């Protein structure tokens, strides 16, 4: 069964912005799916339409086979959403935020308290349950929103850039937590603009650019497209660049050039070839954003 099925989804905002230009997307039940795209690509808009925060302009959307036009409330019972921006009452206590959310889903108070305890303990927030949410750190606030999204035991968990602004250690903890949820059967849809995150966790991914899906495939197939890494090479003096053919070298200035390396190639071999060409290496670093490169590759393919 599909957890999410989207056909020809179009969203034009009141100010004329065409945020989605006819998107088709299927996410299988049980998948760990990434919606990958730069800022402004339309990721949050897709999620907003799913969760009832944005009105679509046209198109169809089904959540576990429930058409949102026919029964959006029922479709909402399947979902839990962790928004990109903080959206809880900053004066409310952590525990109250979770329990109220449970109440909105019609979960009886006693059951809500039980779930709240389990979730807060699992997310390391139990000590903070009686604190006002505004006193939490950034990472805790994010975990609070994850906890809130889990209170109705959703079959589909949606996370909008969950790791933005979260430090490295916490990010890895969050990855483990999400992996565990997914292994226990929760379908996860996550948006991000970090390719690394997708490689680490997701099975399938779609790439969205300017309101259009430009690729949708298994993550391993998508990443294969970017197994070339561009390096910026600093040497004492650039010469004999022709000796490095096969690396797509581009001379920048007297002491700098760029070279492409396949991920399978060893850096040592490349450095050895540099010495053979008589250049003395002073610095070597990977260049820029792999997501950007992935876009370029895909656009070139199409």
What binding mask, one character per residue, do residues 1-30 give for ligand ADP by CB under 6 A, x or -?
A: ------------x-x-x-x-----------
Query: Burial level of 112, CB count in 10 A (0-12/13-18/19+)?
Result: buried
d(CA 280, CA 211): 46
Dihedral in degrees, nearest 10, Cα atoms 160, 161, 165, 166: 90
Residues 69-98 that bind Mg ion (CB under 5 A): 84
Decide: helix, strand or coil at residue 171. helix
- Which tokens is 109 given? 């108070």
In the list Mg ion, another protein, ligand ADP, none, the entry touching 2 (Cβ below 5 to 8 angstroms by class) is none
In the list Mg ion, another protein, ligand ADP, none, the entry touching 277 (Cβ below 5 to 8 angstroms by class) is none
Q: Which is nearer to another protein, 83 or 225 (CB)?
A: 83
DSSP 185-231: T-EEEEEES-HHHHHHH-SEEEEEETTEEEEEEEHHHHHHTT-EEEE
| Residue 31 CB, nearest approach to another protein (Å) | 21
Residue at token pair 């305890």: 117
| Residue 200 CB, nearest approach to ligand ADP (Å) | 20
- Which tokens is 64 given? 């576990």
In the list another protein, Mg ion, ligand ADP, none, the entry touching 185 (Cβ below 5 to 8 angstroms by class) is none
Contact flag: residue 44 with Mg ion (CB under 5 A)? yes
What binding mask, one character per residue, do residues 264-293 give for another protein by CB under 8 A, x or -?
A: ------------------------------
Report the residue from 3, 4, 25, 41 that binds ligand ADP according to the rule CB under 6 A: 41
Q: How many CB atoms lie within 10 A of CB 288?
A: 11
Contact flag: residue 84 with another protein (CB under 8 A)? no
Q: Which is nearer to another protein, 8 or 74 (CB)?
A: 74
| Residue 243 CB, nearest approach to another protein (Å) | 57
| Residue 186 CB, nearest approach to another protein (Å) | 17
Binding residues for another protein, total number by CB under 8 A: 33
Residues 144-163 that bind another protein (CB under 8 A): 148
d(CA 66, CA 70): 7
d(CA 47, CA 122): 26
d(CA 150, CA 178): 11
Asked if 4 contacts 25 with a C-beta cutoff of 8 angstroms, the reply is yes
d(CA 20, CA 45): 8
Residue ranges binding another protein (CB under 8 A): 13-14, 48, 51-55, 73-74, 76-77, 79, 81, 83, 85-90, 92, 97, 100-101, 103-109, 148
């Amino acid at each position: 069964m599909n957890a999410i099925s989207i056909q020809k989804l179009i969203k034009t905002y009141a100010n004329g912005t065409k945020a989605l230009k006819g998107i088709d997307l299927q996410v299988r039940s049980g998948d760990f799916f990434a919606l990958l795209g730069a800022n402004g690509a339309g990721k949050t808009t897709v999620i907003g339409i799913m969760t009832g925060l944005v009105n679509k302009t046209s198109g169809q959307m089904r959540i576990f086979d429930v058409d949102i036009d026919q029964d959006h409330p029922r479709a909402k019972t399947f979902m839990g959403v962790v928004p990109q921006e903080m959206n809880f009452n900053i004066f409310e206590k952590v525990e109250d935020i979770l329990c109220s959310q449970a109440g909105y889903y019609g979960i009886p108070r006693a059951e809500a308290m039980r779930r709240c305890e389990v979730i807060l303990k699992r997310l390391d927030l139990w000590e903070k349950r009686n604190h006002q949410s505004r006193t939490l750190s950034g990472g805790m606030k994010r975990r609070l929103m994850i906890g809130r999204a889990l209170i109705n035991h959703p079959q589909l968990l949606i996370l909008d850039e969950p790791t933005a602004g979260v430090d490295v250690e916490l990010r890895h903890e969050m990855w483990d937590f999400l992996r565990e949820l997914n292994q226990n059967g929760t379908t996860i849809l996550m948006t991000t603009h970090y390719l690394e995150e997708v490689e680490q966790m997701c099975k399938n991914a779609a790439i969205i650019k300017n309101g259009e899906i430009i690729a949708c495939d298994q993550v391993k197939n998508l990443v294969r497209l970017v197994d070339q890494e561009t390096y910026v090479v600093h040497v004492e003096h650039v010469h004999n660049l022709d000796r490095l053919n096969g690396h797509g070298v581009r001379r920048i200035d007297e002491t700098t050039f760029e070279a492409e390396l396949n991920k399978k190639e060893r850096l040592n071999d490349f450095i050895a070839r540099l010495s053979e060409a008589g250049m003395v290496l002073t610095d070597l670093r990977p260049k820029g954003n792999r997501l950007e490169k992935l876009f370029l590759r895909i656009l070139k393919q199409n």
